[in-house]
Amino acid sequence: MAGAPAQSWTQVTVESDPPRVIRSCQPQGGGTLRTTTEGCAGVYVHDLASATSYGTRRWYQVTVSGEAGESFAGWVTRCVQNPDEAYQHLTVNTGWRHDDAARTSLQLSDTVVDTPTGRTVLETGVARERARPYALEEDPAPRAAGAPVAIGCERWQAWRRIGLVTRGDGSRIEIDRGPLPATRVAACAP
């Protein structure tokens, strides 16, 4: 654009592959350049690596003519990151995913940001920690596995070890810890 003011490039690089540039082109400012958030309401730049979201603004040029003062001459940029308007990301725990076979729990969370236009969810259902093993609350207790079985004139009872465990969210379940030897519950009459 003829007569457009010079713009500078501020590059902030986040260590990633490939490196990410997280600041956009901004005019050098001064003279007849001004900024406004007009037209940028609700437009944000979300930087997950730094856990920060930024509001946006756009630059415009004015003409100055004596008594008339300033008048709008045209937009210089689209909505670009406004480093003066920053919002920190929040982590909100949203639930648990249990794996009863592996006896582990994963806590899930969302990444959100609260801005003047409301709450925005940036990531959902993310496991941020390693899986937590279930805690064994009680030693396995024997429990009858079905009805006694008659073998000849004797009756035998099969048993299983049942334990009570606590999951990561505090809920409790019983788990089968395996078989125990069968015991004779009735003998043959002499």
Same structural domain, 88 and 144: no
Average pLDDT of 68-78?
85
pLDDT digits 0-9 by tens, 26-68: 555 556 788 899 999 999 999 999 999 999 999 998 887 777 7
- Domain residues for 161? 134-186
Same structural domain, 92 and 176: no
Same structural domain, 121 and 76: yes
Same structural domain, 38 and 126: yes
Same structural domain, 77 and 148: no
Task: State the pLDDT at residue 2.
Answer: 46
Cα separation, 85 vs 44, in Å, equals: 10
- Of 147, 174, 172, residue with least CA distance to 159: 147
Same structural domain, 104 and 123: yes
Tell me the C-alpha to C-alpha distance, in Å, between residue 132 and each of 107, 165, 170. 8, 12, 12
Same structural domain, 114 and 76: yes
pLDDT digits 0-9 by tens, 101-119: 999 999 999 999 999 999 9
Beta strand 80-99 with 104-115: parallel, antiparallel or unpaired?
antiparallel
Same structural domain, 140 and 87: no
CB atoms within 10 A of CB 56: 20
Cα separation, 112 vs 92, in Å, equals: 7
pTM of the model: 0.63
Tokens 């940029």 found at = 77
Task: State the pLDDT at residue 23.
Answer: 55
Tell me the average pLDDT of the chain.
85
- pLDDT of 78 higher than 60: yes
